[in-house]
């Protein structure tokens, strides 16, 4: 009965175009943000931070990024892992070359560098469409990973070929390096996710977002009504790569601390993020979060259930995880091609009418 839009009249177009048009949603959102910022940091421990929260926050950023390109603009990319690697290595080079540069700006600049690389690999999208483009993005994936593996300049000629994040602080709080406390990793990633998802929301609800969706739904018609397809696609590539690059920088600098490129940013990563947005919902901000949460939690859950509960060996659990993820993707595509976000929307529509559905 609380979940109503009746009586919640919009008198301006401004009110009408806000993010959460229903009052209950708005309040739930404020409550969630308050808990995330004010409560969780105080109860955060190492296990929850490294198994669930930090990867969830970082993958959410990557998923939003890929969703902008694939879900909103309709350009399928299999290069996410490669672009995350660009973000990670850009962060590493910036951190080691400019030790006094604040880590916050390092992360944003890494995103900027990735945006540039993304635009470069997005250029062929004007000529290449659909599957062909998806395969073309594999060129980015394999070439970039190879590049970071083979050119010693990128890993500062270290003997192991690994990159290690040095210690950096914000307001005196350590956020990168081996001695970072769990809560500060969490809070740093949360802050960046909060800012970036607000930016993504603004972009997708305005003119840029509509241009992207127009290209996605019917590129020829879009061009005829005045969309410059090259500009639209390249901005999508740029913005998307920026997000993915920031995610890569955080993944390396904050989450893992040390990275070997083929292991951390291989083709599997590209698929993982793609699955997040398929399961979550293409072209939906909520879907990006839902998909990231689902695929971060699923292995944790399976591991606890199969290894912890049934005492099965870990490799068997890993294989079952592959099967379950694969099967879930198929089930989702058959039952609800628009993912968790669409299920959620349907549930809300029902709830809005409950308990008087007629």
Q: Which of residues 205-234 bind another protein (CB under 8 A)?
A: 206-208, 210-211, 213-214, 216-218, 220-229
> Which C-beta is closer to another protein: that of 182 or that of 203?
203
Q: Is 297 in the site for another protein (CB under 8 A)?
A: no
Q: Which is nearer to another protein, 121 or 255 (CB)?
A: 121
The reply to whether 357 sits near another protein by the rule CB under 8 A is no
Work out how close the CB of 288 gets to another protein at its nearest, in angstroms, rounded to a whole number.
16
Residue number, 110 or 235, with CB nearest to another protein: 235
- Answer yes or no whether residue 308 interacts with another protein by CB under 8 A: no
The CA distance from 164 to 89, in Å, is 10
Q: Which residue from 39, 258, 324, 347 is in contact with another protein, where contact means CB under 8 A?
A: 324
Instruction: Give, as ranges, the residues between 230 and 289 that touch another protein (CB under 8 A).
Output: 235, 239, 267, 271, 274-275, 278, 283
DSSP 241-255: HHHHHHHHHHIIIII
Q: Where are the beta strands (DSSP E) in 192-265?
A: 258-259
Instruction: Please tell me whether residue 321 binds another protein under the rule CB under 8 A.
Output: yes
Within residues 74-133, the interface with another protein by CB under 8 A covers 76, 124, 127-132
Residues 121, 324: Cα–Cα separation, whole Å: 33
| Under rule CB under 8 A, residue 341 binds another protein | no
| Cα 195 to Cα 202: distance, rounded to the nearest angstrom | 11
Helices 229-250 and 182-205 meet at what angle, rounded to 10?
170
Residue 344 touches another protein, criterion: CB under 8 A: no
Cβ closer to another protein: 130 or 178?
Answer: 130
Q: Is 343 in the site for another protein (CB under 8 A)?
A: no
Distance between CA atoms of residues 72 and 204, nearest Å = 8
Query: Which CB, 30 or 146, lies closer to another protein?
Result: 146
Binding status of residue 353 toward another protein by CB under 8 A: no
Report the SS3 class of residue 354.
coil
CA distance 5 to 262: 50
What lies within 8 Å, CB to CB, of 284 at 6+ separation is 67, 71, 338, 339, 341, 342
Does 134 help bind another protein (rule: CB under 8 A)? yes
Closer of 40 and 343 to another protein (Cβ): 343
Nearer to another protein, 54 or 317 (CB): 317
Residue 277: closest CA among 130, 75, 36, 49: 75
203 binds another protein (CB under 8 A): yes
Closer by beta carbon to another protein, 184 or else 284: 284
Q: Measuring CA to CA, which residue among 55, 9, 17, 14 is closest to residue 201?
A: 17
Q: Tell me the CA end-to-end span of the chain in Å, nearest whole number.
A: 14
Q: Is the dihedral of CA 112, 202, 66, 47 positive or negative?
A: positive
Tell me which of 7, 311, 355, 357 binds another protein, using CB under 8 A: 311
């Amino acid at each position: 009965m609380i979940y109503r839009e009746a009586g919640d009249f919009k008198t301006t177009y401004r009110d009408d175009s806000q993010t959460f048009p229903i009052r209950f949603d708005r309040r739930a959102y404020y409550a969630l943000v308050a808990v995330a910022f004010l409560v969780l940091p105080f109860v955060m421990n190492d296990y929850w931070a490294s198994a669930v929260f930090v990867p969830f926050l970082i993958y959410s950023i990557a998923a939003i990024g890929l969703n902008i390109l694939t879900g909103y603009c309709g350009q399928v990319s299999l290069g996410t892992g490669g672009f995350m690697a660009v973000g990670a290595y850009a962060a590493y080079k910036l951190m080691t070359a400019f030790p006094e540069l604040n880590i916050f700006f390092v992360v944003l600049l890494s995103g900027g560098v990735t945006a540039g690389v993304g635009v470069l690999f997005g250029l062929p999208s004007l000529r290449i469409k659909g599957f062909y483009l998806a395969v073309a993005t594999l060129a980015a994936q394999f070439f970039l990973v190879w590049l970071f593996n083979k050119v010693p300049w990128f890993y500062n000629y270290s003997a192991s070929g690994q990159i290690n994040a040095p210690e950096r602080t914000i307001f005196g709080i350590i956020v990168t390096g081996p001695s970072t406390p769990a809560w500060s990793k969490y809070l740093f990633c949360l802050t960046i996710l909060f800012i970036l998802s607000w930016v993504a929301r603004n972009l997708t609800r305005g003119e840029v977002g509509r241009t992207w969706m127009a290209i996605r739904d019917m590129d020829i018609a879009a061009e005829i009504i005045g969309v410059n397809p090259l500009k639209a696609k390249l901005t999508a590539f740029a913005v998307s790569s920026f997000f993915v690059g920031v995610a890569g920088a955080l993944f390396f600098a904050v989450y893992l601390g040390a990275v070997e490129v083929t292991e951390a940013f291989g083709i599997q990563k590209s698929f993982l993020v793609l699955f997040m947005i398929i399961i979550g919902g293409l072209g939906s901000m909520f879907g990006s979060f839902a998909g990231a949460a689902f695929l971060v939690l699923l292995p944790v859950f399976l591991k606890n259930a199969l290894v912890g509960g049934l005492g099965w060996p870990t490799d068997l659990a890993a294989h079952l995880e592959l099967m379950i993820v694969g099967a879930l993707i198929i089930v989702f595509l058959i039952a609800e091609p628009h993912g968790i976000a669409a299920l959620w929307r349907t549930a809300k529509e029902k709830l809005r009418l409950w308990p008087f559905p007629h």
